[in-house]
Amino acid sequence: MKKIIIILCLILHTSTFASDLIFKNSLEALETISGTLTGLQQPANNNVIGFKNSVVMDLFINNIKIEELIIDGNGVFSFNSNIEIGSLFRVQILTHPTDPIQECILNNQNGVVAIGGFNLLQVLCGSNSTVWDTSNWDESNWQ
């Protein structure tokens, strides 16, 4: 009789898996996207108002924009959104700094969110003459 009861319990209660229990206490498998920004030059006038000396980036998850981030200094940055492990992500630069005028290059801008998050975004900024692979021949004083 005990065996029949156990078998019935197993048959009727098949929807519970060990992995389901992990998420019952708000311990969802969520991670963040982060990286570093280097080369951002300070404006000549320290009283700049607005985002003239900022890099603005968009974060897309599964091709849907979920966040815009404004970075106004060199160093480590992180998007605020918590993202499910296994999601496809893409980051793109929306605007470049304009005081002084700078171009920024984004490396490692897309991938899959893994356990531990993704912290390999690299934003490299500089004047047009220092970002050699994005400048026109005449702009970069190569002649």
Mean pLDDT of 14-38: 67
**Predicted pLDDT of residue 96:** 92
Q: What is the pLDDT of residue 19?
A: 47
Domain boundaries, the chain: 27-126
CATH topology assigned to domain 27-126: Immunoglobulin-like (2.60.40)
Residues 42-96 have pLDDT tens digits of 776 665 555 578 999 999 999 999 999 999 999 999 999 999 999 999 999 999 9
Predicted confidence at residue 13, as pLDDT, reads 56
Model pTM score: 0.67
Looking at residue 43, its pLDDT comes to 74
Name the pLDDT band for 98 (thresholds 50, 70, 90). confident
26 vs 38, which has greater pLDDT? 38
Query: How confident is the prediction for the chain on average, in pLDDT?
Result: 79
Q: How far apart, in whole angstroms, are the C-alpha atoms of residue 73 and residue 130?
A: 18
Report which of residues 43 and 137 the model is more confident about: 43
